Structure 1
Amino acid sequence: MNTKKLSFIILSFLTIINLKVKSQTIEANLNYFGFMDNREYARSFRYSQTIFGNRISPEVGLKLDSFNRFRIGFNALYEFGSQKNTFIDKIDPVIYYEHEKNNWQFFIGSFPRLNLVDNYPRGLIRDTLNYYRPNIEGMLVKYQTKKFKETVWLDWTSRQTANDKETFLFGFSGKYQPGIFFLSHYAFMFHNAGAGIPIPGDFLQDNGGLQAEIGMDLSRKTFLDSLTLSGGVMFSIERTRAISSSFDTPAGFVSNLYASYRKFSVQNTFYAGEGHHIIYGDSFYTSKSYDRIDLGYTPIKYKNLEGKFVFSYHIVDGALDNQQAFFLRYNISGKKDIRKKQ
């Protein structure tokens, strides 16, 4: 983002702060995300890298009434060791409207994916989006009760120009849990259309996947803070329209186990079946068999601050890869009533 765009955002902040409108409240929020993710994937011939940096995302806005609010801000990334010689490597605008009433939530604009669409299985949507694409640019609808929730979203990733393609992500996810047992599902489709001026050899492409599971939540039945087990099916869909009129639909079995006690956690994810080519998915799922073990330790947990180590082991293609990560999140928010006194 250039200086003019940043100046526009700052000016918008000042405009909102100086508004004097009846029956409104100024709200502010600040989110910090620090991350170190060292990936040693050479043994399975996948891409090794170290992702090391931080993000800061301030927001300010107006709560118009009990159901409606507007927010404006930005999400800024700085990667440690950056050679760009700039204070910030990349700034994403945050501008959105939110409506929340009864069991419904609706968003439109550029809004954080955190706590909305950040829990997809890595086989479908890889976790690097948390580092490099923190916002959804589009719309989202969420319905939630005590036993059921469903989220539908549209993320517009590129608008069509003479040289740029039209691309977007469309997805939905949900969970039904009347008791110990639960049903969950995650699905999305990536639509990759052509540029305004056709590119030779480039064809319209649909690519995505779905994962559905049945499981048990035994957290209240044991001494552990959390214990869940689940298993189900994962399949992907892919079609290049000018080449084929039918979809390729490889499928397989997937299982998950998660347990935590105080500051410690363990998670195991296992997949067996056909290899997948999901553009936004984790590359480990191109193999026919894959097992991932995550060992977590959370030494920092205080009010709105949490710091966590995760040590991951990837068993794939007869090799053992490893990964070490540390995440630190801090979030603070506040509000001030600006209603005129009668």
Structure 2
Amino acid sequence: MRLFITFLFIFVVATATAQQLEYQVQFHGIGDNREFAQSKKAYSQTILGERTSVEIGTTLDEKHRLRIGLSHLFEFGSNLDERKPNLTAYYRYADEKNTFYFGAFPRMELLNFPLAMLTDTLNYFRPNVEGMYGKHSWDWGHQSGFVDWTSRQTDIRRETFMAGFSGEMRHRAFFAENYLLLFHYAETAIENPDEHISDNLGLALYAGMNLEKLLPLQRAYVKAGILGSSFRERGVTDGYLTGLSFSGEFYGERGPFALRATLHQGEGHRFMNGDRFYTADSYLRTDVVWQFLNSKHVQGRFNLSFHLVDGKDLDQSQQLSLVYRFGNAE
């Protein structure tokens, strides 16, 4: 902590002579209730709390920025110091076509993978990507990639990291999306016969069409494709355990209300950080969304979600999200 305070002091003094001192404060109110007793595919739980994130930084010029700060999750009913704050510290480069991050930077609204691959609770409990991210954009689409280093190998800790690529290509009303994800789980530095290196791979490919000109909606699309997964635990599994399924989604939005329906049909998947409902062979999720606040600084949203598993078990969940941002940072 002393080292962090010293570094923060030096950083603030240094930015005093920079072109512009920037800051941003974000409050994220979280209300997430999950009732999954019927299918027993995922954990029933209630997550209630708030995450406050503070960043300060400087612009070196129009393209280069530095940021440093803290992000702290306070779960209601717990002690204030029950969870340690997460350090945020990163460099960002951005021009008309390229974006690059290096350091510990917020994942919210940056990584947009299917829930089958990356579950939404990562935004609650692991708010930062710790590594790097790059994105290149064209007039007709973009491609991006990231590395999230989640643990360094020691005598008692196993090396783990996550890496992925995603992108979109557009032509008139049509679009295509691609997602590729790897999670690597190595051994500790001291050999342990009970530990085995494991690799988890995921792939999703979609083709879709925007429907705004066909339906009386502000935003609407439909997409369909394949979802694939491979898992190997070296020395334990006989090669890779694979899964392949059809995946489709419809989304429609008008005014403050939206409807999203997502279908997974085929073989179940095993993703390290994915939504556990996708371990089932059949899963239909329907989200009714109400965006009750939408201004420059405040966004409030309520989700009522229904989860139909294997055509017979119906679970439900509710999510309340309230995000308030202020500051002069982009």
Q: Which amino acid aligns with 1:288?
A: D
Secondary structure in 1 aligned to 2:123? Answer: helix
Contact 2:35 2:315 in 1 (8 A): yes
- Contact 1:9–1:72 at 8 Å: present in 2 too? no
Contact 1:239 1:247 in 2 (8 A): yes
TM-score by length of 1: 0.91
Q: 1:16–1:62: 8 Å Cα contact kept in structure 2?
A: no
Aligned to 1:236: 229
What CA distance in whole angstroms lies between the structure 1 residues aligned with 2:270 and 2:18?
A: 52
Q: 2:295 aligns with which of 297, 302, 324?
A: 302
1:339 maps to none
Structure 1 counterpart SS, 2:85: strand
Deviation of 1:8 after TM superposition, in Å, equals 4.2
Corresponding residue of 1:91: 85
Provide the secondary structure at the position in 2 that maps to 1:177: strand
CA shift at 1:22, angstroms? 6.0
**Partner Cα distance (1:259, 1:164) in 2:** 45
Q: Which residue of 1 aligns with 2:262?
A: 269
Q: What number of residue pairs does the alignment pair up? A: 327
Relative to structure 1, the CA distance from residue 99 to residue 289 in structure 2 (aligned partners, 3 Å threshold; closer, same or farther) is: same
State how far apart, in whole Å, the 2-side matches of 1:326 and 1:271 are.
Answer: 25
Q: 2:155 aligns with which of 149, 157, 162?
A: 162
Is 1:208 the counterpart of 2:226 in the alignment? no
Range with bigger deviation, 144-153 or 236-245: 236-245
Question: Would the alpha carbon gap of residues 185 and 112 (structure 1) be closer, same or farther in structure 2, given more than 3 Å must change?
Answer: same
Alignment of 1:314-325 (within 5 A): 314-317=307-310, 318-325=312-319
Contact 2:18 2:58 in 1 (8 A): no
- CA shift, 1:126, in A, is 0.9
In the alignment, the residues of structure 2 paired with residue 121 and residue 56 of structure 1 have an alpha-carbon distance, to the nearest angstrom, of 25
Distance 2:232 2:83 in 1: 35
Deviates more, 1:52-61 or 1:144-153: 144-153
CA distance in 2, matches of 1:20, 1:36: 37
2:213 equivalent to 1:217: no
Q: CA deviation at 1:302?
A: 2.1
Deviations 1:58-99 (A, max 9, x none): 1011110121111100111100111xx335623110011111
DSSP-derived class of the 2:277 partner: helix
Residue identity opposite 1:230 in structure 2: K
Given that 1:171 and 1:189 are in contact with CA atoms closer than 8 Å, whether structure 2 keeps it comes out as: yes
SS in 2 for 1:18: helix
Alignment check: 8 A CA contact 1:208 1:279 kept: no
2:32 aligned to which of 30, 34, 37: 37
User: Which residue of the partner structure matches residue 74 of structure 1?
Assistant: 70
Question: 2:119 maps to which residue?
Answer: 126
The equivalent of 1:108 in structure 2 is: 102
Could you state the TM-score of these two structures normalised by the residue count of structure 2?
A: 0.95
Question: Which structure 1 residue ranges, 5 or more long, are not aligned?
Answer: 336-342
Q: Partners of 1:23 and 1:131 in 2: how far apart?
A: 33
Q: Can you give the 5+ residue segments of structure 2 that lack an aligned partner in the other structure?
A: none
Correspondence 1:65 to 2:58: no
Q: Verify the 8 A CA contact 1:39 1:50 in the aligned structure 2.
A: yes
Q: Distance in 1 between matches of 2:320 and 2:15?
A: 43
Q: Structure 1 stretch 206-215 or stretch 245-254: which is displaced more?
A: 245-254
Match of 1:256 in 2: 249
Once the 2 structures are TM-superposed, how far is the Cα of residue 178 of structure 1 from its aligned partner?
A: 2.0
Q: 2-side partners of 1:159 and 1:288: how far apart?
A: 35
What does residue range 114-153 of structure 1 map to in structure 2 within 5 Å?
114-117=108-111, 119-153=112-146
Kindly tell me: are residues 87 and 22 of structure 1, through their superposed partners in 2, closer, same or farther at Cα, counting changes over 3 Å? closer
Kindly report which structure 2 residues correspond to 1:328-339, keeping only aligned pairs within 5 A, or say none.
Answer: 328-334=322-328
RMSD over aligned CA atoms reads 1.6
In 2 relative to 1, CA 18–228 (structure 1 residues): closer, same or farther, beyond 3 Å? same
The separation in 1 between residues aligned to 2:44 and 2:234, in whole angstroms, is 33
Partner SS state of residue 200, structure 1: coil
Residue equivalent to 2:23: 28
For each residue in 1:181-201, what CA deviation from the matched residue of structure 2 results, as whole angstroms up to 9, or x when unmatched? 000011110000000112222
Instruction: Determine if contact 1:77/1:88 at 8 Å carries over to the other structure.
Output: no
Task: Tell me how far 1:25 sits from its aligned partner.
Answer: 1.6
Q: Contact 1:9–1:73 (CA<8 Å) still a contact in 2?
A: no
